[in-house]
Structure 1
Amino acid sequence: MDTTKKGGIPLHWLMLIGFVIGLGAGLYVNQYIGPDVAWVQWVTSNVTGPAGQIFLRLLFMLVIPLLFSALVVGVAEMGDLQSLGRAGIKTLLLTILVSAIAVVIGLGMVNYFRPGDGVDPALAQALLAQGAEGAAAIVEKAPESVQFGTFFLDLIPSNVFTAAAENQILPIMIFALLFGIGLVMARSPNTDKLQNVIEGILEVTMKLINLVIKLAPIAIACLMFNLAALFGWDLLVRLAAFVGVAVGAMAIHMFVVYPLVVWIGGGMNPLTFFRGVQRPMIVAFSTASSNATLPVALKAAEEELKLPRKIARFVLTVGATANQNGTALFEGVTVLFLAQFFQIELSITQQVVVMLVCILGGVGTAGVPAGSLPVIAMILVMVGVPAEGIGLILGVDRFLDMCRTVLNVTGDLVLATVVSRGEKDDPVVIEPDPPVTVATVA
């Protein structure tokens, strides 16, 4: 997704440069100067700290309109449910199911390998004290056991505006989901106009996020300087472990879950499937863009997998926005990794909340560069983790973005294969030639 350029240099290269500069300067300070020196503390408190916070607050400012509009539009685009019938319902249910499996795999891997463990607890608590001012103290309020009655009751906001003001992200996403379903059910000229307005809000929000993301190289340098100055080389070790766990979880979903779904749900040999989708996978990895890969995926679905054209076009077009398995998995892994890094133990209840937000976030994540950042930032605030930790993963996000885009695009083709089972294209009706009248000569 990273095609935006600034000053002629691709944005992802600028982000990498900012990561390297911030990391190098922070490691130098940690090894040779010390984070407790007066001028270092002044710089982190008055320059790099506020610069990073500005970037994060801009993301927070846009997250509510982004998620609401993206989720409503993503569901409303399934308005073809009325014309496609069971195919549309299967698409929606399979999207939720496969995304849930992806998130569970990611959370299971992070809980088992615990890539965020191992940093100095004193340093973690020091940064936690600095960065937790804007985070909700949900860690202290969360129950130790899952109380399902209260949990599901809290999903329904009694006042959606109050929920938005208090950054209760999951109730807002539930409201957006219901709003989108209502928009599909109440089709009329007026609701079509309303959908156009919401699509306009989404376009404006995505444009603003594109502008905010252009500040990412500076923000990454500032955030990484603060983190590296405090944690030193432990930072690189934990970061490498994070990348390993994230890629491992994606590999399990790609080479275990997808083949099983294709085989059992789609009735197709997994080897045949993967031979047919090689080109979309390569394009997805090289461009890191689901939208850019869509034409190639459509061609592969029709010519290589021999899927019905109307089903393939519907599922792949909707899936490019709404079926983001790799993004959902990545968000869950990142949140739990950063919670471990800052020595914050999340209860079962909180992990269930994270899982649900990631599943819905996979539908509501915008197709813009680093579009998952606002969702991750908001989840971090929900569970009391300093949002500054985002700086840790931004430097390696380009590679992980390429990997999760392959997972997203392949997941769309898996979904199209399963939904297409038992479906046929509408037969082409050939009108008979009009009868030829022969004049009779008397």
Structure 2
Amino acid sequence: MKKAWIILAALIAGLLIGMAVGDRSPLFHDIADVVGTIWLNGLRMTVIPLVVALLITGIVQTANAASAGRTATRSVITMISILVLVTIMAAIVTPALLAIFPLDPDAAQALRQAMGAVEPAAAPPPFSEFLKAVVPTNPFQAAASDALLPLIIFTIAFAFAITRLEAGKKQILAGFFEAMAEAMVTVISWVLALAPIGVFALGVVLGMTAGAAAFGALVHYVLVVTAIGTIIMLSAYPVAMFGARFNLFDFARAAIPAQSVAISTQSSLASLPAMVQGAKQLGVGARSTDIVLPMAVAIFRATSPAMNLAVAIYVAHWMGIELGPEQIVIGVAVASITTLGSVSLPGSISFIAAIAPICIAMGIPIEPLAVLVAIETFPDIMRTLGNVTMDIAVTGTIARAEGDLEKGEAA
């Protein structure tokens, strides 16, 4: 049984027990609340060092990939452009979906009560003050105060400075942060090993406070976030038609084997052989399948920044926080950037590592993430499905630009 299903079972069990107990045992509520909060704090303590280490490692790896030749450079530029575009799409579509299909107000109020009181978001500063604060005067103070965007700006500058060092020094620093990232991943894996206990405890609190409304809210969350991934998956088809000039039906047929593996494994890496076969079926040459597809799996997940931002916006909706334009812009920037550092992580770890920084930067509480990670199994299917479909479409687009499509196979 996969760990994700065990965590989901723990959440459901906690919700059911909490609903059964109701408000008859304040002591049981307090014990569950303490256990859940301790586990949540264990997740919180890893966010800053993990984001810094992963972002530096991801930028160095991306820069190394881009320096491998013209095809690699074109691939990196194309992939980053798509990541930014789909993230902007999520910033527009997610609030629209929530406006059309909002969470039931009574359920939202019950969920907010279960998560504890949340201070209303502070009024955004004037835009000039916002710009002044983007560059930190002290990156350590920015880290200590959870000022994620200034910290990320410094981290990006530092990472690109590492790429300009001579080979020996670059290897030392890159190796240090790679080791730091691996150590932090180990720490967070220890915390996630206790996830069934922590999620069960949080589920008990949620069930005791929100009752049956919790189930409806979680289903609503899955539908909204999955809708964003569905849009990205469907957008891969026009990319294939207009970018690679594939026949729509040929592309759809060639993508089915990789999509089938994606649904069953929820792993882009496991889907790579089927993606290679599908790309070759469409006439993509060996140069592109050998370079672009593995690069796409390593540094490009088209659904990640958009669906991560959608999660953050949904949490704000859940907690009754009105997001201003500055917060949305910050969310787009952080979601687009941090995806470079989390693409190689297991799903449950990347969920926390990628979404917590977005929430913190936007001034959104991260407490709901500890519950939402338990049901990430369902959106994660669409994440992987959208990723592999877009990977094949982008590979075909790069192959056409590089003259690496075999005649007679593509429309």
TM range (shorter): 0.7 to 0.9
**CA deviations over 1:372-430 (Å, ceiling 9, x no partner):** 223323433444444331244233211211211121222222322222223256xxxxx
Query: TM-score when scaled to structure 1?
Result: 0.82
Measure, in 2, the Cα distance between the counterparts of 1:222 and 1:415.
Answer: 43
Q: Residues 193-342 of structure 1 correspond to what in structure 2 (within 5 A)?
A: 193-255=172-234, 257-301=235-279, 303-342=280-319
Asked if the contact 1:210/1:369 (under 8 Å) is kept, the reply is no
Gaps in structure 1 of 5+ consecutive residues: 1-8, 426-442
User: Is the partner of 2:122 in helix, strand or coil?
Assistant: helix
Q: Is the 8 A contact 1:56 1:387 kept in 2?
A: no
1:142 correspondence with 2:124: yes
Q: Secondary structure at the match of 1:157?
A: coil
Residues 29 and 208 in structure 2, CA contact (< 8 A), matched pair in contact too: no
Change (3 A) 1:13 1:336: same
For structure 2, the 5+ residue unaligned runs are: 405-411
Matched to 2:97, the amino acid is F
* Preserved CA contact (<8 Å) 1:139 1:383: no
The residue aligned with 2:59 is: 75
Partner of 1:396: 375
Shift of the 16–122 alpha-carbon distance from structure 1 to 2, 3 Å rule, reads closer
Maintained 8 Å contact 2:328/2:362:
no
- The 2-side partners of 1:109 and 1:248 are apart by 9
Deviations 1:224-259 (A, max 9, x none): 22122212222222222222222222222211x222
Matched, 1:18 2:10: yes
Q: State the Cα deviation string for residues 128-150 of structure 1 (Å, max 9, x = none).
A: 6x364xxxx6811424x7x2x44
Change (3 A) 1:110 1:82: closer
Partner of residue 432, structure 1: none
Once the 2 structures are TM-superposed, how far is the Cα of residue 125 of structure 1 from its aligned partner?
5.4
- 3-state SS of the aligned residue for 1:421? helix
Instruction: State TM-score, norm by structure 2.
Output: 0.87
Work out the CA distance in 1 between the residues paired with 2:287 and 2:60. 18
Residues 27-61 of structure 1: CA deviation (Å, up to 9, x unaligned): 2234xxx3xx4x32x3333x212222222222222
For residue 104 of structure 2, what is the amino acid of its counterpart? G
Match of 2:33 in 1: 49
Partner Cα distance (2:219, 2:59) in 1: 37
Note closer, same or farther for the CA distance 1:125–1:138 as it changes in structure 2 (3 Å cut).
closer
The answer for the alignment partner of 1:119 in structure 2 is 105
What amino acid is aligned across from residue 244 of structure 2 in structure 1? G
Deviations 1:63-108 (A, max 9, x none): 22222222222222231323313x3333333223222332233333
- CA 418–131 in structure 1, closer or farther in 2 if over 3 Å, else same: farther
Structure 1 runs (4+) greater than 6 angstroms displaced? none
Task: Give, in angstroms, the shift of residue 116 of structure 1.
Answer: 5.3
Task: Tell me, in whole angstroms, the C-alpha distance in 1 between the residues paired with 2:298 and 2:134.
Answer: 24
Instruction: State whether structure 2 residue 135 is matched by structure 1 residue 162.
Output: no
For 1:317 and 1:71, the matched residues in 2 are separated by: 20
State percent identity of aligned pairs. Answer: 23
Which range moves more in the overlay, 73-82 or 396-405?
73-82
For the residue of structure 1 that corresponds to 2:178, the secondary structure is helix
Residue deviations 1:317-355 (CA, integer Å, cap 9, x gap): 332242122222221121111211121111121122112
* Separation in structure 2 between the aligned mates of residue 181 and residue 306 of structure 1, nearest angstrom: 36
Q: Which amino acid aligns with 2:58?
A: G
Larger Rg over CA atoms: 1
2:407 alignment counterpart:
none
In structure 2, how many angstroms separate the alpha carbons of the residues matched to 1:361 and 1:236?
30
Output the aligned Cα RMSD.
2.6
